[in-house]
Structure 1
Amino acid sequence: MKKPYKLMPVVYFDNYVLRTLKKTDYKDMYDYGRDPEVTRYLSWGPFVMPSEARRSISQIFYPRIRHGLPIGYAIVDVKTSKMIGTIDFHSKIRGENGAEIGYVLHQNYWNQGIMSQAIKKMIEIGFDYLNFDLLRIRHLKKNVASQKVIEKTPFKFIQKEKYVLEKSNSILEDEMLTYELTKEDYYGSQQSQRNL
């Protein structure tokens, strides 16, 4: 039986490419993962040592295959061949044929529309290639930049709930905002746009 999550397609858009994360990407991951601004609203970071990035790839990303999920995508700047972030289906949605998308991007590449485009590619991959019925994406309320990214995609706001993020050197109390998109809604809106 074919297991598509083990061999993910390479996807190009503008001057960027999504390709499966490699263990050798750890130096580029450390480069943005050590930035406190980049990791402020994430459950991990900032990195202090490059070995933390290497461990993240081998112990967090690679084991996903065992759970029926892709390893995750590196977002690569084609001009420099540098990995500038990741986007991935990091966990399955309990009780549903679906997954949650997570992402992070090097600060030098913020506010250029890169992540909104990457998310749209992930929607196509999730529904067309991995055959999910439901996709979810979330952000902390204080992470306004992430909210703006998600609002440029077809995801619909579902709910907000209180959330406490305990990091190694701080505790962040906030609200977690959840957005979802079903395959049915996505293709229904695509069809209606074609009929206009």
Structure 2
Amino acid sequence: MKKKPFKHMPKVLFGEYMLRTLKTKDYRDLFEYGKDPEVTKFLNWGPMVLSIEAKRSIKEIFYPRVKNGLPVGYAIIDINKNKMIGTVDFHSVISDQNTAEIGYVIHKDYWGKGIMTQAVKELIKLGFTYLNYDKIIIKHLSKNIGSQRVIEKSGFKYIKKEPYTLKKINSIIEDDMLIYEITKEDYHGSKQS
């Protein structure tokens, strides 16, 4: 079986934005939104304090994913500004079920513009057609309404909720984690209708 090219995924253009494999040089842009407490409020990391944290996360969290059978992750690029404005990625895999989980984050200046919804849809397409996953899952804390909108607009089906505790540097969030999925069959079926 041919090894999947996880290290260099295909570039994807949509409107004035592009998905391309995350690079170490993106750390400055990652730090720009990663230091924002509002952007990182519902994430299990951040806010970042030093730019070296962003560089370290690319090298120590994103790059090693290839060894675990996952793509490095996509940088979302504002083509006109040649700037990374967020990431969308498969951050974990359940290999015995051929299932991957999506995570994402985007700079606050780009909230509410439909960019992340389109980026997630493009990643779903790659997950089923290029990486040949059977199922993709995604999760969000119930208080994260923005994330919920992206997930619902991207074609996922709600499965269940579980109690969850998110421990941040200066706070603890007690909430429900809402879990969604989309299967390859559902994806291909919705493309025909």
Shifted more, 147-156 versus 70-79: the winner is 147-156
Query: What whole-Å deviation, never above 9, does each CA across 1:46-65 have from its counterpart, x for those lacking one?
Result: 00000010111011000000
User: What is the deviation of 1:167?
Assistant: 1.6
Instruction: Report the AA paired with residue 122 of structure 1.
Output: L
Matches within 5 A, 1:1-196: 1-93=2-94, 95-191=96-192, 193=193
CA–CA separation in structure 2 for the residues paired with 1:27 and 1:38: 16
User: For the Cα contact (< 8 Å) 1:89–1:100, is it kept in 2?
Assistant: yes
CA–CA separation in structure 1 for the residues paired with 2:144 and 2:105: 12
CA–CA separation in structure 2 for the residues paired with 1:93 and 1:175: 22
User: For the Cα contact (< 8 Å) 1:11–1:19, is it kept in 2?
Assistant: yes
CA–CA separation in structure 2 for the residues paired with 1:69 and 1:132: 11
CA–CA separation in structure 2 for the residues paired with 1:164 and 1:116: 26
User: What is the deviation of 1:170?
Assistant: 1.4
CA–CA separation in structure 2 for the residues paired with 1:62 and 1:116: 24
Query: What whole-Å deviation, never above 9, does each CA across 1:12-50 have from its counterpart, x for those lacking one?
Result: 001000000000100000000000000000000000000
User: What is the deviation of 1:174?
Assistant: 0.4
User: What is the deviation of 1:80?
Assistant: 0.3
Q: Name the SS of the counterpart of 2:159 in structure 1.
A: strand
TM-score, length basis structure 2: 0.97
Gaps of 5+ in 1: none
User: What is the deviation of 1:3?
Assistant: 1.6
User: For the Cα contact (< 8 Å) 1:91–1:100, is it kept in 2?
Assistant: yes
After superposition, the Cα gap between the structure-2 partners of 1:94 and 1:3, relative to the gap in structure 1 and judged at 3 Å, is: closer
Q: Name the SS of the counterpart of 1:6 in structure 2.
A: coil
After TM superposition, the runs of 4+ consecutive aligned structure 1 residues lying more than 6 A away are none
TM-score, length basis structure 1: 0.96
CA–CA separation in structure 2 for the residues paired with 1:182 and 1:69: 18
User: What is the deviation of 1:94?
Assistant: 5.6
Instruction: Report the AA paired with residue 9 of structure 1.
Output: P
Q: Name the SS of the counterpart of 1:111 in structure 2.
A: coil
CA–CA separation in structure 2 for the residues paired with 1:37 and 1:101: 20
Give me the identity figure in percent. 60
CA–CA separation in structure 2 for the residues paired with 1:8 and 1:95: 23
Q: Name the SS of the counterpart of 1:142 in structure 2.
A: coil
CA–CA separation in structure 2 for the residues paired with 1:6 and 1:79: 25
User: What is the deviation of 1:2?
Assistant: 3.0
Corresponding residue pairs, total: 192
CA–CA separation in structure 1 for the residues paired with 2:11 and 2:95: 28
Instruction: Report the AA paired with residue 73 of structure 2.
Output: G
CA–CA separation in structure 2 for the residues paired with 1:57 and 1:5: 15
Q: Name the SS of the counterpart of 2:6 in structure 1.
A: helix
